[in-house]
């Protein structure tokens, strides 16, 4: 053992501030400090605002002085029907988008799991929607596909002799979910594909020798193996999709069927309402619920963190 290493070990035993525990923490600190500073400080400020009636004074006719109003903002939340609507829309949007993109992603991954001519090119084409800017993706669907003036889908419908459909105005939620699924399916596909390819080949061969059909192998061995990957996809996908903003702003600009929680909070604050105090309260409520749900979900999805303890 070198002198330096012996030094460290000795210091560890004496409980020095430069003991082993702190040496372990040191590399973590820059990222941790940065994250706390940039994300928690606004959070704390938001908490403060949520107890006030802070508004943009230039926007209202009768200027009100900013004052501390306790939990009035919070009380108002639970009697706000529009918020409940936004929550319900958020749930629908997120669940539909996550589930559909997982299903499509798994199907595409199964297709890509075998070798065929041009497999690499097919994969390249399939992941492209994920690489697009969300605003561009939304614009493409809004203008090129859905639009009742120029849209291709519309032209296709009239070509087939069916009546034209106002996709975005009549089915706002479905339109937005379509764009989300189109963009996020490749992400799920890559995760599931990784899962499929991490299956040991000889296990699948053994199942074949033991008499299992292709469907049987998929059901009894592959799906259980994929469970971790499906869970990871659902978790990561939910975290991103629940925050969906760009598509809504571009396609519908809000509106009863398509406003999710982030958009609702946006409308409440700098998106038109300028009621920063109450918007903050909404945000805080959302964060608290997210943490509760996530803690519960992570306990259930324990397979993600079921790692051997590293010493």
Partner 1 sequence: MRRGTRLGVGERRSVVLGVGILAWLVALIWIFPVAWTLLTSFKTEQDAATQTLHQGLSFARYHDIAHSTPGTLSLQTAFMNSLVVVLVSTLIVLLLALPAAYALAIRPVHKWRDVLFFFISTKFLPVVASIFPIYVYAEKWNLIGTRTILIVLYIAINLPLAIWMTRSFFMEVPRELIEAAEIDGTSILNQLRSVILPIAAPGIAATALLCVIFAWNEYFYALQLNFASGSTMPQWVITNVSTRGNFLAKLSAASIVACLPVILAGWAAQKRMIRGLSMGALK
Partner 2 sequence: MASVQYDDATRLYPGTTRPAVNKLELTIDDGELLVLVGPSGSGKSTALRMLAGLEPLDDGRILIGGKDVSRIAPRGRDIAMVFQNYALYPNLDVAQNMGFALKQQGVAKEERARRVQEVAQLLDLEPYLDRKPRNLSGGQRQRVAMGRAIVRHPQVYLMDEPLSNLDAKLRVQTRAELVELQRRLAVTTVYVTHDQVEAMTMGHRVAVLRDGDLQQVDPPSKLYHEPANLFVAGFIGSPAMNLLPVSVDHSVKLAGADIRIGGLDGGGRGTLGFRPETVIIGADGPIAARIRLVEDLGSEVFVHLVIEHEGEERRLVAKVDPPFSGKVDDNVRLTLRGTVHLFDAAEARRATVTL
Subset of residues 191 to 220 that bind partner 1, contact rule: CB under 8 A: 191, 193-195, 197-198
Residue 112 binds which entry of partner 1, partner 2, none, CB below 5-8 Å type-dependent: partner 1
From residue 147, how far is each of 122, 151, 254, 283, 307 by CA, in Å? 28, 4, 17, 33, 49
206 binds partner 2 (CB under 8 A): yes
Question: Cβ closer to partner 2: 30 or 211?
Answer: 211
Asked if residue 242 lies in contact with residue 184, where contact means CB atoms within 8 angstroms, the answer is: no
Please give the residues from 158 up to 197 whose contact with partner 1 meets the rule CB under 8 A: 182, 185, 190-191, 193-195, 197
Please choose which of partner 2, partner 1, none residue 83 contacts, taking the beta carbon within 5 to 8 angstroms, the exact cut-off set by kind.
Answer: none
| CB distance 18 to 11 below 8 Å | yes
With a CB cutoff of 8 Å and minimum separation 6, the contacts of 293 are: none
Residues 64-103 that bind partner 1 (CB under 8 A): none
If the CB atoms of residues 16 and 205 are measured against partner 2, the closer one turns out to be: 205
Positions in 48-67 near partner 1 (CB under 8 A): 49
209 belongs to the binding site for partner 2 (CB under 8 A): yes
Choosing among partner 1, partner 2, none, which partner's interface includes residue 170 (Cβ < 5 to 8 Å by kind)? none
Q: Which of 91, 103, 152, 203 is the binder for partner 1 (CB under 8 A)? A: 152
Q: Which of 9, 10, 32, 91 binds partner 1 (CB under 8 A)?
A: 32
Q: Which of 68, 82, 88, 150 binds partner 1 (CB under 8 A)?
A: 150
Q: Is residue 126 part of the contact set for partner 1 (CB under 8 A)?
A: yes
User: In angstroms, what is the minimal distance from the CB of 176 to partner 1?
Assistant: 15
Asked whether the beta carbons of 134 and 246 are under 8 A apart, the reply is yes
When the beta carbons of 202 and 310 are compared against partner 2, the nearer one is: 202
Question: Per CB under 8 A, which region of 1-9, 163-171, 201-209, 247-255 contacts partner 2?
Answer: 201-209
Instruction: Number of residues interacting with partner 1: please give it, by CB under 8 A.
Output: 102
Contact assessment for residue 173 and residue 184, using Cβ atoms and an 8 Å cutoff = no
Q: Which of residues 210-229 bind partner 2 (CB under 8 A)?
A: 210-213, 216, 220-221, 224-225
Determine contact, residues 145/58, Cβ cutoff 8 Å: no
Rule CB under 8 A: which of 240-299 touch partner 1? 243, 245-246, 249, 261-263, 265-266, 269-271, 276, 279-280, 282-284, 286-287, 290-291, 294-295, 298
Q: Tell me: does residue 205 bind partner 2 (CB under 8 A).
A: yes
Pick the binder of partner 1 from 12, 134, 255, 273 (CB under 8 A). Answer: 134
Positions that interact with partner 2 (CB under 8 A): 200, 202-203, 205-213, 216, 220-221, 224-225
């Amino acid at each position: 053992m070198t002198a330096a290493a012996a030094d460290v070990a000795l210091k560890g035993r004496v409980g020095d501030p430069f003991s082993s525990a702190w040496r372990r923490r040191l590399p973590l600190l820059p990222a941790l400090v940065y994250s706390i500073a940039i994300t928690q400080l606004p959070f704390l400020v938001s908490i403060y605002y949520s107890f006030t009636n802070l508004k943009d004074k230039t926007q209202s006719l009768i200027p009100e002085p900013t004052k501390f109003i306790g939990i009035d903002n919070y009380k108002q939340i639970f009697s706000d029907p529009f918020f409940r609507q936004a929550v319900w829309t958020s749930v629908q949007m997120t669940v539909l988008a996550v589930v559909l993109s997982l299903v499509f992603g798994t199907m595409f991954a199964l297709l890509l799991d075998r070798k065929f001519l041009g497999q690499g090119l097919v994969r390249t084409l399939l992941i492209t929607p994920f690489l697009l800017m969300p605003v561009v993706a939304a614009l493409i669907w809004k203008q090129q596909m859905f639009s009742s003036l120029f849209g291709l889908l519309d032209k296709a419908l009239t070509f087939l002799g069916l009546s034209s459909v106002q996709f975005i105005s009549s089915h706002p939620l479905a339109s937005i979910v379509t764009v989300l699924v189109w963009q996020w399916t490749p992400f799920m596909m890559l995760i599931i594909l990784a899962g499929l390819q991490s299956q040991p080949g000889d296990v699948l061969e053994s199942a074949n020798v033991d008499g299992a059909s292709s469907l049987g192998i998929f059901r009894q061995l592959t799906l259980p193996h994929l469970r971790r990957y499906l869970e990871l996809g659902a978790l990561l996908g939910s975290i991103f999709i629940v925050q969906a903003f760009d598509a809504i702003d571009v396609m519908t600009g809000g509106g009863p069927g398509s406003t999710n929680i982030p958009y609702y909070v946006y409308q409440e604050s700098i998106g038109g309402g300028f009621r920063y105090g109450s918007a903050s309260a909404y945000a805080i409520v959302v964060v608290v619920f997210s943490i509760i749900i996530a803690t519960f979900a992570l306990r259930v999805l324990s397979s993600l963190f079921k790692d051997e303890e590293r010493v």
